[in-house]
Structure 1
Amino acid sequence: MLRWLYRQRDIRGVTRNLKIEAASLFWKRGFITLLTLNLSFILMFFFFGVEFLLGDDPAQNVGFDPTMAENIHCIGERLLVDPTTRRLGENNGTDVIPLMVVPLMLDLMDFRSMMCNINVPIRLLFLVQNGREAMLSLYLQELERVYGWSGRLVVSRHPENIGYSAAVNMGLRLALSLPREEVPFVFVTNSDVKFSPDLLPNLLRDVHETTRHDAARMDELAAEVANEPSEYSPVLRGGLRVLRSRVNDSRLSTSALLPDRIRYASVKEREKAFSKHYGHFCAYYK
């Protein structure tokens, strides 16, 4: 009898172990299947460029969820670009952001929300991607496909991650390369923000009013630079002028825009030279 009981216990132990092994094998197979499906999905996007057609609108030909297509429409509305008819809306008013610079890295969802929250047109949108985040890369690639032809969207990619300040410097360098009438000032923003309905219209009105005399001042300084060298920058061999610094990396040099009397002046004198001008605005509107 005792031997029979031991045998029954051994049989139950073997049965329990078989059940555990079967369950473990089931979950392992399920995990491997899900992992394989996810990998296949990623490979389809990266190597085959799969697009799920959602209609004739190019902004709808997106391999993402419907909210992504809606967001791409939001950006088209801000840029005043119709991707279907390829018509460009008028963007020369003072109620338009001249140049908007947005550094991006891991904030795709915030950026999508912010762009649909903005309620004023954008003349030129400059997006700087830091890093290699896959979904952000795909999203920016789709934006370029839909709106890149318009000239109103520029994307700059930096897998090595040049940092936030360097990304802003790239936007400022772009602004300095464009006509002053086209980009009188630059709007730089993070993605994790939400604007009240009247903030941006009021900000644009005030910035345009405050900076309206800046063009004349810039012309005066440019004329001084053109007429140098002066006593501050002596003539070198054969009439060559002192070389002004020009950099090609992520740093920003504006020294070439200033005459020597300001470049080498004291802090107090430089403050006096620009006392009637503003270079930085904070959007703290109630």
Structure 2
Amino acid sequence: MAAYRPGVLIGNWNEDAYLEEERFRDFMHKRERGELLIQKINKLQDNLLKKIQLSVSKDGYVHFGDTVMLLNLHDKSLVESYSGVCGNLTLAINLDEIPIYSAESLQAPCEVSAVKSVDPMGRNTFCILSVDGGAVGEPLRFGQNFGLGTTGGFSDQMQVFLTDERSYLTCWQATFLDPQLRLEHEGFPVPANSKIIITHCHTNRSLAVPRNFWTRSYFGKEYEVICHTYLDSHKAEENKNYWEIVTGNPGDEDSTMIDRPSPHPAGIRKNEFCEET
């Protein structure tokens, strides 16, 4: 009888070898089809974090089909009396809400947050969508319903908060900033890169970033986005409700209009969801 040596195979070695070969074939098959988890995550990150070029407004207005950022403004004059975080924030897809095992695409519903990054990328750029038959290229008007769709290379457009089902809950309206002049501006085109109020049609509440609640994500602090109308003593919305629909810089395709030098010496600037009910 031959003596035992380290090279002698014992146990279910043949079965183990077949199982290992099967696992390897399964791995190669998934890799070729792009079905590995790391490939799905990389694809999602490529979509959400890739640089996006914003639409350039040639007439100074917002149009259906435009790719834009939604900028929540912070009024520097209120720094001393306002305890919230300072600086401008952009509306963005909340990456922490995306299930890792379904990371190949966005899953509805998907929450949004406000982030400090003002560089346009897949997660913080949105497309202005028509909900009443307005053609691409037509200007969005005050009091006209519109929707917000994702960009960043996704085939399905979803509205904020983000859902893949269009309904009256996904409709928003741009409202003129000054309450005393709103009726006079009803039906006029919405100017790009100017302060406006964004109102949810179903609840008549305004999109806001209260700036007093934040969570820490892989990319730093991200701030809660809600629908609530903050009114001051004059019954006018507070800066928590101030938004600008930001377009691209016509003089530099790699920058936005917020990168252009302010024409105001003091740095004061001139005057995108489905709310859960």
- Tell me the TM-score normalised to structure 2 length: 0.28
Higher relative contact order (CA 8 A, sep 6+): 2
| Larger-gyration structure (1/2) | 1
More helix by share: 1
More strand by share: 2
